[in-house]
Structure 1
Amino acid sequence: MSTTAATTTPAGTFNGTLLDNGQSVYRGIKFATAQRWQHPVDIESYASPVDASEPGFISPQVPGFLEQMLGTDASSMSEDCLHLNIYCPQGASVDSNLPVLFWIHGGAYTNGAGSIAWYDGSRLASKGTVVVSINYRLGPLGFAGSENYGVLDMLSGLRWVNRNIASFGGNPNNVTIFGESAGGSAVVSLMATDAANQLFHKAWSMSPSIGQLRDLPRANELLEEFLGLLDENSLATAAHKTVDEVLEAGTKAAASPSKGFDIFAPTAGGTAVKADLLAAAARCPIPFVVGTNKDENKLWSAFDQDAASAGQSEWEKFTQQQFGDTADTARAVYERYRPNEAARELISAVNTDISFRQRAQELSEQRCVENTPTWMYWFTWETPAFGGILGSCHAIDIPFAFDNLDAPGATMLLGEGAERQAISDRFATEIVHFATHGHPTWQQFNVETRPTLEIGKNTELINDPEAEIRQLFSRK
């Protein structure tokens, strides 16, 4: 049974819901308005009490595999999508001064929403935090060209939090941004803005897709291709197109010969984001945690029929393309670390390291050079679901981080078993500890011993996991 909760802020009064677990939730709060391909305009006050009992519209999108599994509803989509959700302990007030966790969802910058059930923040709130999740504009609506509209939406949401979160029990001077996949690389992008240490004070990046981030020339090249598909010369002249036409052109652009994972993504040197994005993120003085999953790429390769047919010759060809003169050494190293894996799984392992793990390592190394506080983790728990073919795949860590192992779709992906709750308890507790104290409970990263918290069946601190694989990439 749930009843109504009400909170009055400097902006107005919001009517939310009291949950059975003792937390309050305020859903679908509109924090900004935005015309298509225009900067967001902050909403600073509300003329009448706001009904915050239902999720708001989400950004128009073509739902991906994960979103389809989680039940993304096309009827809930609108360009009027800049809404946020707040989870806080019942009775929290301006005197509570709780740490704030600001969640940025993933989905390749083309899919997802802050209101997805996996991101329900009520259990993290029960551990003594205030959790905020947001929507931002996606795909061509948020990331066509170099204006970084989606990033500007995130900054607008952070400004709303800065002005109003104290009334929900949160401390506006203790905000931790955290996100996964595209949300994880959005965290890195935000660290390369002037908002760092102003609107947020700590950052936690899960499986960041750093390779998606692009520079100005690449953004302009992709914009030209996208506009050509719309038969337009500029975003201004394309503004009259229907949202379906925009999404269709975006889908075609993503399937074009020049396709890359950066087709719609934040742009270094574009609006708000510094040109030396990764260097700026390395210099950013705030505490930073970054981690990846052991088998990220299996989320895609496990169900890819072309990948399934790969044999020894494809494995040899692939390593030659990736490692050149050191291909023989690379194959030997991967086969030694993964002695029971077939060629397709070995190829997937290399792609995991190229796309996720090594980029996170490189950013952590750069932060060590800059002497900025950094911690690394490695999520290695493997799901038995689907016959075990997914391993520790991309996104599998999300229900653990939010302590939402029973969320819709989670059991299908995770299976069942007592060990899961213990892992979730540790992961979620580390996030809350970091948000509260400015550091997790394990040793800070350094380039000499590379301490890394392995989160899995045996959660423990290890030094330089799979060192020989890391060294392969340092020699490339």
Structure 2
Amino acid sequence: MRKKTAVGMAVALAGASLFSTGVFAAECDTCSKTESGEVKGVLNTDVVTFKGIPYADAPVGENRFMPPKPPKKWLGVRDASNFGAVCPQAADHIIPYPQKPKMLDLVGGPVHEIPVFANEDCLSLNIWKPHGSVAKLPVMLYVHGGAFFVGAGSSPAYDGTALARNGVLVVNFNYRLGLFGFAELGSLDSQYTGSGNNGFRDQIAALKWVKNNISAFGGDPENITIFGESAGGASVASMLVSPQTKGLFKRAIIQSGNFNLLQTPEAAKRTLEQLLAAGKLKSMKDFKSATTEELLQVQLTAQFTAQNSSSMFAPKVGTLEIPANPEEALKSGVAKEIPVIVGANQDEINYWNLYDSKFRNLFIDEWDGGQPNRLLPLDVEAKVANANSVASLEQAYAKAIPGASERARRVAMVNDFIMNGPAVRFAENHALGGGNTYLYRFAWTMPDKYVPQGTPQLGAVHAMEIPFVFGILDDRLKIVPGIENYYRSNESAVAKELSKKMSLAWSNFAKFGDPNGQNVPQWSQYTLSTRPTLVWNSNPILVKDFESERRKVWSAWSFGPYPYKI
């Protein structure tokens, strides 16, 4: 994606302050012990929170661009009342930050902002647990999204309070982003081979920390569910096939992200070429000695000039952490013992309309940044059209969605290529591998009367399901225009009821490996013969082979990692 506002092309969220340390009385009902030392949390009505707990040593100095190392031990009781620092990133301009970002000027490019609370010493996690709960609570470990270059566990979107009230223990965390966590620097110095997966290694380190420490907080280390959205969803999918995560978790939930968001070795090489061309950093010594802001300047300059900046950073396939062909690994049954919920949203790419002053679609329309950014490559269109024996992919969609406008067909094509198709294919492959799979499509749409005049109805955009899962339907998250007015209305009871059902389904799954239960719509496992999809809308319904004609258009296409031109 050509870099105009590409650093904002993700659900980038923050809301953090630096942790502090202190000594408290050894006996307290909000204290817990970890392998590194004792922590003191905070009781908020009926949920205890622990924030900013280090799960790895600071990746600074000699640790920069190296795999995560165990956290250092501390004496006394550590204050866990505040979030840890956000990992270095540019601020997403559509997200309100609790502290004013500072400016960073780029030569020949736009002005960007960096959260003032960002710091490379950022590898910490946060825990929400029901107060007075019994031991061995099911654990839900969330991986945040943000295209692997923005985001933080401290985002108000990921507040685990409401979800914890369902009788689960919720954990989220930060991991290294952008070139700090996903730049492959091994060609500059062999000592750093594999650095392109350091952000993913951080995620594995957080999972191992939970496995080893969560029992002290009342969690069950033998019942861990990993779940994530967007980049977090792709990360969860990767953990399912990674040989490095065997035995570390029991269940998985993948929301709007999959193997297609991972990076090929070819793309990783082009990313490094872009970084080397973007500034004065030419050697490993330069990367090691640069300041945090200098590294961010190089990253942002490279993203500004890249053809597809949203694909510059991601976990790498063909590595020790992720097999070269994750689709085939899944199909072979490598994760057959792990039940999975997987799905996407009906109007995913309309999220990026929010980055245009007139809410035009960056991938379909001419917008503030110029011509549309091609997310669906021309060669992919040609290959899929040929597989369907038609002259163009649009002709295939004219048959699949009769009566739809040309623009609506175009939007559907991009949605299916980037999010919907990969989710269905994952369900197919996991079922073929012998795994239990539950497929969903989130399709809730805010009533038209709350959409501001002159603003298009964006529908169920990317990330729209997050507040429904976490039970946060309030003014903290204004994902689409007008939704704050809807939340304040009596009609919001419909959305809040849907949120209760989704939150229960997710927590039921974490408890039992099955989302079904009281006050949850009947949800059948995915099979190739019936292909059931639970469509989450105001009246959730189980649909057999949902949008079957659109699915069939892509039946011959592999939704594995695509070698985008960076």
Does the alignment reach a TM-score above 0.5?
Answer: yes
Closer, same or farther: CA 100–348 of 1 in aligned 2, 3 Å: same
The corresponding residue for 1:140 is 179
What does residue 298 of structure 1 align with?
350
Residue by residue, what CA displacement relative to the aligned partner does 1:138-171 show, whole Å, maximum 9, x if unpaired? 1111101143011111111111111211111100
Distance 1:64 1:248, change over 3 A: same
**What pairs up with 1:288-437 in 2 under 5 angstroms?**
288-301=340-353, 303-304=359-360, 307-308=364-365, 323=385, 325-327=390-392, 329-333=395-399, 335-336=401-402, 339=404, 343-384=406-447, 385-386=451-452, 387=455, 389-406=457-474, 408-410=476-478, 414=483, 415-416=486-487, 417-437=492-512
Selected match of 2:80 from 13, 28, 52: 52
Q: Work out whether 1:114 is the aligned partner of 2:142.
A: no
| One-letter code aligned to 1:333 | K
Deviation at 1:258, TM superposition (A): 4.2
| Residue pair 1:97, 1:171 contacting (<8 A) in 2 also | yes
Contact 1:27 1:85 in 2 (8 A): yes
Equivalent position SS for 1:440: coil
- Provide Cα deviations, 1:420-476, integer angstroms capped at 9, x if missing partner: 011101111011011000122221111121111111112011111111111111256
Q: Measure, in 2, the Cα distance between the counterparts of 1:218 and 1:144.
A: 11
CA RMSD of aligned residues (A): 2.6
* 8 Å Cα contact 2:40/2:78 also seen in 1: yes
Residue number among 301, 307, 324 corresponding to 1:275 in the alignment: 324
* In 2: Cα distance, 1:468 partner to 1:153 partner: 40
Q: Distance in 2 between matches of 1:409 and 1:248?
A: 29
Q: Which amino acid counterpart does residue 397 of structure 1 have in structure 2?
A: E
Does structure 1 conserve the Cα–Cα contact (< 8 Å) formed by 2:330 and 2:433?
A: no
- Pick which of 132-141 and 32-41 moved more: 32-41
Name the CA distance, whole Å, in 2 between partners of 1:57 and 1:260. 25
Q: CA–CA distance in 2 between the matches of 1:13 and 1:91?
A: 19
Q: 1:198, 1:290 → 2: CA distance?
A: 20
Q: Which residue of 2 aligns with 1:5?
A: 30
Q: For residues 468 and 412 of structure 1, do their structure 2 counterparts lie closer, same or farther at Cα, with a shift above 3 Å needed?
A: closer
Q: Which amino acid aligns with 2:75?
A: A
1:236 deviates by 4.6
Residues 65 and 439 of structure 1: is their aligned pair in 2 closer, same or farther, counting only changes over 3 Å?
farther
> 2: distance between equivalents of 1:271 and 1:373?
26
Change (3 A) 1:110 1:263: same
Q: Which segments of 5 or more consecutive residues in structure 2 lack a partner in the other structure?
A: 1-27, 102-114, 185-193, 368-373, 517-522, 558-566
Q: How far off its partner does 1:175 sit?
A: 0.5
Q: State the TM-score, normalizing by the size of structure 2.
A: 0.76
Q: Does the aligned pair in 2 maintain the 1:127–1:432 contact within 8 Å?
A: yes
Aligned residue type for 1:8: K
Instruction: Tell me which residue corresponds to 1:131.
Output: 170
In the TM superposition, residue 373 of structure 1 has moved relative to its aligned partner by: 1.8
Residue among 137, 140, 143 paired with 1:104: 143
CA contact (8 A) 1:31 1:160 kept: yes
> How many residue pairs were aligned?
463
- SS of 1:274's equivalent in the other structure is coil
- Mapping of residues 63-78 of structure 1, within 5 Å: 63-68=91-96, 74-78=115-119
1: CA distance, partners of 2:98 / 2:89: 14
Q: CA deviation at 1:54?
A: 0.5
- CA–CA distance in structure 1, aligned partners of residues 361 and 340 of structure 2: 38
State the one-letter code of the partner of 2:64: R
Is the aligned partner of 1:150 residue 2:199? yes
Q: Which residue of 2 aligns with 1:180?
A: 229
How has the CA–CA distance of structure 1 residues 280 and 44 changed in structure 2, closer, same or farther, with 3 Å as cutoff? Answer: farther
Q: Is the 8 A contact 1:191 1:280 kept in 2?
A: no
Deviation digits for residues 36-66 of structure 1, max 9, x if unmatched? 2111111264322111000100111012255
Structure number with the higher helix fraction is 1
Q: Which residue is 1:250 aligned to?
A: 299
Deviations 1:178-214 (A, max 9, x none): 0000000010111222244411111101001532201
